[in-house]
């Protein structure tokens, strides 16, 4: 079971002194009182003021479980009656979540985990100096589990940390975790970077993480991984745990990915703009490597190419094996996704490939996925089973954002409102609506027009996960 937490990593500035050894190569006894007193305190003093506590509040409906029984609804209605035990319970309840965040700009810009503030009606930040502020969401990116917040009172000159480069980290570097575990208050723990480029964790779409053994626990989510110069090199997002507590395996989102989301937020974008390859990639296996005459079963195997995409224009073909991006090795599609997505838009990047057993290099343009069809976002209303669903027209940009769509055109469900008829009917984000009552659906306008008219029943045909599903639903 995955548990989400914060991890902050920091190199010990004085580590070189501690690492000194005599000419013989053996350990040595500290030569002075100053060496014995070496401390993490300067790094903590520089970084800790920029670490904030994030409190997210969400109001949810709570119904009496008896209301799920049609018999009780028939006699007492949806609200029940005073003679039925428990029907006087509150209709609403407040859910609270606690996490951490990092101030990265003196105007009050905060980076945290998306799962900390997901669905929140109110977000409040508490600074290390005990000041508290309301915050608003600038940009959420569920694909990386990063959210960018802004303190509403932007007049104050807030402390801030500097984003560094996660590529500067090495396995064995000393790190610190700073956050608010279990809500006890700001806490610092120390460990090392135990692995880099951890992929296939199933935590985010861009599965490429820094692993550390610094003690982290629930409540740490959203904090910073800091190097010895006080630069943030990662945002911690998850732990591996069977007990719910720290067991020495935590994962942080690299700062290079965080920077992409932050730059989109500062540019005023409502979605994160990243380079788009326009190709489906597959994990390599020993069997595939043998068939392709490849020595090592690593890299990202190209399955198919999107027409008109940068991949097609660069000459990439199905069956090519991508092994490097800008000279950096990629072991699997997750590693490729990270390396490619963190390249700046504009210009081009060299991809190292193996084609029919021979190495080659292709230069691919770094362009965002185009919105070839206006998305025309619509919230469906009325008395249809799709009421409460937000739908958009498909385009390469939408397909790239959602990552779960096999269709290339049509209308897709972007969101499903909590407690809505669409949620109760089990519609999901990513469902592509193909047909309603025998009428093909080409645009959101088509779907909105059809669902406005009441019907006794609804025959809905959709595509989900590559499968076509048809269902008859009551009106």
pLDDT of residue 177: 80
Could you give the CA distance from residue 75 to residue 233 in angstroms, rounded to a whole number? 60
pLDDT of residue 198: 61
Give the pLDDT of residue 245: 56
Residues in the annotated binding site for substrate? 115, 145, 219-221
Q: How would residue 248 be classed by pLDDT, with cut points 50, 70 and 90?
A: low
The pLDDT value recorded for residue 418 is 85
**Lowest-confidence pick of 191-200, 350-359, 361-370:** 191-200
What pLDDT is recorded for position 29? 64
Q: Reply yes or no on whether 350 is catalytic.
A: no
Percent of the chain with pLDDT over 90: 39
Q: Report, as an integer, the average pLDDT of 446-463.
A: 92
Q: Is the pLDDT of residue 68 over 60?
A: no
How many Å is the maximal CA-CA distance in the chain?
89
N- to C-terminal Cα distance for the chain?
A: 39
Each residue's pLDDT tens digit, 144-153: 899 999 999 7
User: Is residue 413's pLDDT more than 70?
Assistant: yes
196: left (phi over 0), alpha (psi -120 to 50) or beta: beta
Q: Calculate the dihedral angle through the C-alpha atoms of 236, 241, 246, 252, rounding to the nearest 10 degrees.
A: -10
Amino acid 394: pLDDT: 92
Mean pLDDT value of segment 99-116: 93
Q: Which listed residue (97, 160, 194, 221) is catalytic?
A: 221
pLDDT at residue 37 in the model: 63
pLDDT exceeds cutoff 70 at 26: no
Q: Are 253 and 261 in contact (CB under 8 A)?
A: no
| 221 belongs to the catalytic site | yes
DSSP of 127-157, one letter per residue?
-TTS-EEEEEEEEEETTTTEEEEEES-TTS-
β-strand 162-163 against 231-240: which pairing, if any? parallel
Instruction: Please classify residue 227 by burial: count the beta carbons closer than 10 Å to its beta carbon, then call 0-12 exposed, 13-18 middle and 19+ buried.
Output: buried
Catalytic residue among 145, 227, 320, 331: 145
**Verdict on whether the full-model pTM lies above 0.95:** no
| Structural domains for the chain | 1-14+39-82+91-273 (2.40.10.120), 279-365 (2.30.42.10), 378-474 (2.30.42.10)
Percentage above 70 pLDDT, the chain? 79
Low-confidence winner among 124-133, 169-178, 303-312 (lowest mean pLDDT) = 169-178
Residue 62 confidence class, pLDDT cut points 50, 70, 90: low
Identify the active-site residue in 97, 100, 115, 384: 115
Show binding-site residues: 115, 145, 219-221
pLDDT score for 16: 38
Average of per-residue pLDDT across 415-434? 92
Instruction: Tell me the per-residue pLDDT of 281-315, one tens digit each, with 9 for 90 and over.
Output: 998 888 888 777 777 888 999 998 988 899 999 99
pLDDT tens track for 73-106 = 444 454 444 444 444 455 566 667 788 999 999 9
Q: How far is CA 193 from the centre of its chain?
A: 21
């Amino acid at each position: 079971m995955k548990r989400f937490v914060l991890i902050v990593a920091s190199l010990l500035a004085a580590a070189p002194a501690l690492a000194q050894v005599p000419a013989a190569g053996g350990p040595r006894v500290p030569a002075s009182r100053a060496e014995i007193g070496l401390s993490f305190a300067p790094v903590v003093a520089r970084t800790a003021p920029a670490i904030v506590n994030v409190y997210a509040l969400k109001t949810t409906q709570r119904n009496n479980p008896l209301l799920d029984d049609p018999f009780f609804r028939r006699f007492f209605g949806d609200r029940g009656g005073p003679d039925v035990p428990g029907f006087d319970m509150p209709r609403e309840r407040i859910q609270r979540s606690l996490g951490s965040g990092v101030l990265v700009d003196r105007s009050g810009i905060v980076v945290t985990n998306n799962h900390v503030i997901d669905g929140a009606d109110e977000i409040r930040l508490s600074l290390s100096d005990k000041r508290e502020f309301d915050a608003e969401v600038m940009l959420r990116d569920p694909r990386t589990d990063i959210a960018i917040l802004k303190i509403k009172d932007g007049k104050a000159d807030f402390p801030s940390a500097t984003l560094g480069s996660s590529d500067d980290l090495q396995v064995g570097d000393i790190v610190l975790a700073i956050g608010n575990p279990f809500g006890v208050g700001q806490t610092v723990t120390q460990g090392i970077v135990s692995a880099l480029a951890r992929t296939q964790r199933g935590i985010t779409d861009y599965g490429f993480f820094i692993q550390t053994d610094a003690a982290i626990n629930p409540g740490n989510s959203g904090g910073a991984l800091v190097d010895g110069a006080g630069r943030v090199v990662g945002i911690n997002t998850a732990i591996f745990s069977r007990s719910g507590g720290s067991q020495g395996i935590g994962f942080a989102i690299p700062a290079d990915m965080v920077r992409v989301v932050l730059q989109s937020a500062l540019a005023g974008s409502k979605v994160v703009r990243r380079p788009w390859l326009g190709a489906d990639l597959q994990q390599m296996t020993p069997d595939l490597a043998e068939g392709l005459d490849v020595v090592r079963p690593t890299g990202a195997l190209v399955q198919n190419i999107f027409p008109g995409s940068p991949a097609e224009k660069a000459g990439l073909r199905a069956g090519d094996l991508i092994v490097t991006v800008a000279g950096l090795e990629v072991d699997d599609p997750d590693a490729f996704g990270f390396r490619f997505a963190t390249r700046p838009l504009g210009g081009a990047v060299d991809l190292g490939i193996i084609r029919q057993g021979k190495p080659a290099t292709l230069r691919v343009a770094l362009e965002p996925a185009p919105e070839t069809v206006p998305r025309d976002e619509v919230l469906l209303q009325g008395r249809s089973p799709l009421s409460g669903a937000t739908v958009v027209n498909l385009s390469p940009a939408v397909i790239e954002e959602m990552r779960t769509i096999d269709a290339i055109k049509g209308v897709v469900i972007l969101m499903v409102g909590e407690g809505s008829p669409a949620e109760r009917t089990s519609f999901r984000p990513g469902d592509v609506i193909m047909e309603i009552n025998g009428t093909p659906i080409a645009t959101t306008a088509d779907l909105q027009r059809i669902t406005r008219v009441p019907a006794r029943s609804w025959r809905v045909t959709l595509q989900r996960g590559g499968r076509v599903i048809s269902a008859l639903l009551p009106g």
